[in-house]
């Protein structure tokens, strides 16, 4: 395993210690997002491990810059929910940010890829364990897709996400 990825895994586990993803330790979600991001390279895998660290812990952007560099820190900051407002307002602000990202910029590209992987991971988990949250993701999908999808960037992730959102419980759970 790459040393930078191992550092990201160790860093994220330490920062998210004690946090849960449903009934699982939080790192289960981070590892799932990393696995989905694997085809997009080591930097996408690193961002996947760190994608919630600014939002859910006391970690600062400066710490990420120091340990992982500007590009990774900027990418993680793009993924971080705004602080103020309810879920709807936060998602509107986040979608606005995604709309403005230029996928030719490496940090923005990584953020868009990892966000699609994160959403796919969340949708799969909610479909199996939290049907009420799955319905919430279905309702949010159209606006999220308009903001975060970029043609040709991570088509297979989007294909699976779109398919799960569209068919919901109409197909057998896997």
For 89, the token pair is: 């307002």
Residue-wise pLDDT for 30-82, tens only, equals 999 999 999 999 999 999 999 999 999 999 999 999 999 999 999 999 999 98
How far apart, in whole angstroms, are the C-alpha atoms of residue 108 and residue 76?
9
Give the model confidence (pLDDT) of 124-157 as tens digits.
999 888 989 999 999 999 999 999 999 999 999 9
Q: For position 23, which CATH number holds? A: 1.10.3210.10
What span, in angstroms and rounded, lies between the C-alpha atoms of 133 and 50? 23
The reported pLDDT for the residue numbered 171 is: 55
C-alpha 60/C-alpha 111 separation (Å) is 17
| CA pair distance 15, 169, nearest whole angstrom | 35
Tally the domains of the chain. Answer: 1
Give the residue numbers spanning the domain of 52: 1-170
Distance of CA 26 to the CA centre of its chain: 13
Which residues are CB-contacts of 53 (< 8 A; sequence separation ≥ 6)? 11, 12, 15, 16, 59, 64, 76
> 119: which 2 tokens?
């959403």
pLDDT digits (tens, 9 = 90+) for 85-129: 899 999 999 999 999 999 999 999 999 999 999 999 999 999 888
């Amino acid at each position: 395993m790459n040393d930078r990825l191992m550092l990201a895994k160790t860093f994220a586990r330490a920062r998210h210690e004690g946090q849960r993803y449903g009934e699982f330790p939080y790192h289960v979600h981070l590892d799932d997002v990393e696995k989905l991001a694997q085809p997009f390279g080591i930097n996408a895998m690193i961002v996947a491990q760190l994608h919630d660290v600014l939002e859910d812990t006391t970690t600062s952007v400066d710490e990420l810059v120091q340990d992982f560099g500007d590009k990774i820190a900027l990418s993680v900051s793009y993924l971080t929910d705004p602080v103020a407002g309810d879920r709807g307002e936060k998602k509107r602000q986040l979608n606005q940010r995604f709309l403005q990202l230029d996928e030719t910029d490496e940090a923005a590209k990584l953020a868009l890829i990892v966000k699609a992987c994160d959403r796919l991971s969340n949708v799969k988990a909610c479909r199996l364990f939290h049907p009420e949250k799955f319905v919430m993701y279905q309702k949010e999908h159209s606006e999220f897709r308009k903001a975060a999808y970029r043609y040709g960037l991570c088509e297979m992730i989007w294909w699976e996400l779109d398919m799960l959102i569209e068919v919901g419980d109409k197909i057998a759970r896997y």
